[in-house]
Structure 1
């Protein structure tokens, strides 16, 4: 186990990922990063398109 604080201080890629709360070990984040990102934030005001 490496020191996370050290990674953040030297400004490495992994340190930045830790700071942003994103996956650190190269997983995809387009889908499936929910454990690191936390619960889904729903997009507000997505109403169906009205005809007319």
Structure 2
């Protein structure tokens, strides 16, 4: 079941309206870098590798914080 040329063109036009792949990654990373440079709360949380959207960190957030570090005496 092959698609006709006009159907392919419609799909291509629809996809071209969105930011995709490398451009999207670049935009997201520049947005995060901008937040860090401005020194906003979210930027500081990114810099410290902590959750940025209000989650608790006392007991959870292991994915973002990494594996537990042993206590030193």
- Cα distance in 2, alignment partners of residues 10 and 31 from structure 1: 29
User: Which has a greater percent of helix?
Assistant: 2
Q: Which has the larger radius of gyration?
A: 2
Answering whether residue 70 of structure 2 is matched by residue 42 of structure 1, we say yes
TM-score with structure 1 length normalisation?
0.78
Structure 1 moving runs of 4+ over 6 Å: none
- The aligned runs of 1:9-48 (5 Å cut-off) are 9-45=37-73
User: How many residue pairs are counted as aligned between the two chains?
Assistant: 45
Q: Unaligned regions of 5+ residues in structure 1, if any?
A: 46-52
Relative contact order higher in (CA < 8 Å, ≥ 6 apart): 1
Give the secondary-structure state (helix, strand or coil) at the position aligned to 2:45.
helix
